[in-house]
Amino acid sequence: MSLMQRYGRSKSVVKRSKKYLEEALYHKLFKDGGSELSVRQQLNQFIKSGKRVYKWEVGDTLKKLRQRKLYLPALKLSETMAKRNMNKTVSDQAIHLDLLAKARGIAAAENYFVNLPESAKNHLCYGALLNCYCKELMTEKAEGLMEKMKELSLPLTSMPYNSLMTLYTKVGQPEKIPSIIQEMKTSNIMLDSYTYNVWMRALAAVNDISGVERVMDEMKRDGRVTGDWTTYSNLASIFVDAGLHEKAEMALKELEKRNARKDLSAYQFLITLYGRIGKIYEVYRVWRSLRLAFPKTANISYLNMIQVLVNLNDLPGAEKCFREWESGCSTYDIRVASTLIGAYAKLDMLEKAEELKEHARRRGAKPNAKTWEIFLDYHLQKGDFKLAVDCLDKAISTGRGNGEKWVPSSETIGIMMRHFEQEKDVDGAEEFVEILKKSVDSLGAEVFESLIRTYAAAGRTSSAMQRRLKMENVEVSEDTQKLLEAISVE
């Protein structure tokens, strides 16, 4: 049997036996859970084993890995299959390009694209690279590539236009979207539901609510695109933001009608948006429907429901929902507990907040950065800066759940530095700066200027401050420069 036959065979999943499907690659990778570490370990075992795998398995596994944002394992699997001479379609190459951008950066994706044979550079690969540029907010490169696609007369669908319009929305240029819509219409490119959603969002961004309603009417008249639940969640959200609660409620009723497939995200949008317009009865009604549709209710659903009840000032309801979750959860999720901890802190119920934090710890859920941020904000409001610094230190040391650093807001940093400055507390300020250095790559001019003013206010001198500024490549204002010279000693 050739390598192509062995590793590139494509068969219908439907024709496979139940036993075979249960042993499929994606089941093997996720058998110890969905964390990146466990998936990578299982993937390494599979690669070392050299076991045969069918192309449909690889395709389904890559899809599931991408859905879970496990881009590094997905890329490794894709590269391994290429080494095993599995036949890659142009669609596979577009997916590989996208994985490279997410796992190794845009430069890696560009290099891959450049080295592809010209025959493989069709609308799918160009579209994948365009989507990467749009996600990275690289406007000039995205616009340039779109023009190149037109010059090459590649068959264009709504997808590249949707990517470009999403980019303009994110970079605050919604005014560019109507001209793109017009170009699509002129080129007879069919607008899809995503196109209409982005168009409506662009009009909402410039407060043209009547324009949003006109677009919705146009979509209905067109007849080729049927608004699904995402269309009406988008419309309802626009109306909520505009304070048009009656219209929002009508859109939410339409959303419910279109959720025949009982999509979990649809239920969660309904709960959130009904909550935002103060309809607590509807919140509970939809929650009951969600629980019936999903008896094994996910942690994220409880998290969303508890947050909505907290926002509606229904603390007893939030506590009851929390107890229900806690009694049946298979994994004690600190995010759910932190939602209630945050509610207690806002209501000045520090003792209950602390008790719940410790209770969660005993259940195996350590406080995350968000938990410590809640206590940080509480102590800042109370003016207890010693405890606030301690919480900030713990938040930085814990980091984010995805492995990234937790960085305090510039507002929080400013409040703390001003406190040390007012108290003439040089030692406290220096201790705080050392903690910050574990989180931020560059302290910046504002932190150093405040630190220099603290030294000056306390009548302290420094033999290293000028050297520190040079090492950090920081330039201070003219007034601060004078203070710097005054506190500096050889």
Residue range 207-218: mean pLDDT, rounded: 95
So what's the pLDDT on residue 3? 34
Lowest mean pLDDT among 29-38, 218-227, 331-340: 29-38
Contact 444, 476 (CB under 8 A): no
pLDDT band at residue 331 using 50, 70 and 90 as cut-offs = confident
Rounded Cα distance between 356 and 71, Å, is 35
CA atoms within 13 A on the CB side of 396: 20
Q: Is the model's pLDDT at 12 over the cut of 60?
A: no
User: Taking residues 424-433, what's their average pLDDT?
Assistant: 95
Q: What are phi and psi of 233, to 5 degrees?
A: -70, -40
As a whole number, mean pLDDT of residues 271-283 equals: 97
**Whose CA is closest to 230, among 278, 197, 188, 186?**
197
C-alpha–C-alpha distance, residues 313 and 470, integer Å = 51
Residue among 116, 122, 187, 193 nearest 162 (CA): 193
For the cut 90, the answer to whether the pLDDT of residue 166 exceeds it is yes
What pLDDT, on the 0 to 100 scale, is given for residue 34?
A: 67
- Residue 274 confidence (pLDDT) above 60: yes
In this prediction, residue 49 has a pLDDT band, given cuts at 50, 70 and 90, of confident
Q: Which token pair is 397?
A: 């040391």
User: Is residue 8 scored above 70 in pLDDT?
Assistant: no
Per-residue pLDDT tens digits for 372-383: 999 999 999 999
Which of the four pLDDT bands, split at 50, 70 and 90, describes residue 180? very high
Residue 19, pLDDT score: 41
Q: Per-residue pLDDT for 272 more than 80?
A: yes
- The whole-number pLDDT of residue 23 equals 58
Confidence label for 309 from pLDDT (cuts 50, 70 and 90): very high
- Looking at residue 490, its pLDDT comes to 65
Please give the average per-residue pLDDT across 351-370, as a whole number.
Answer: 95
Share of the chain above pLDDT 90, in %: 68
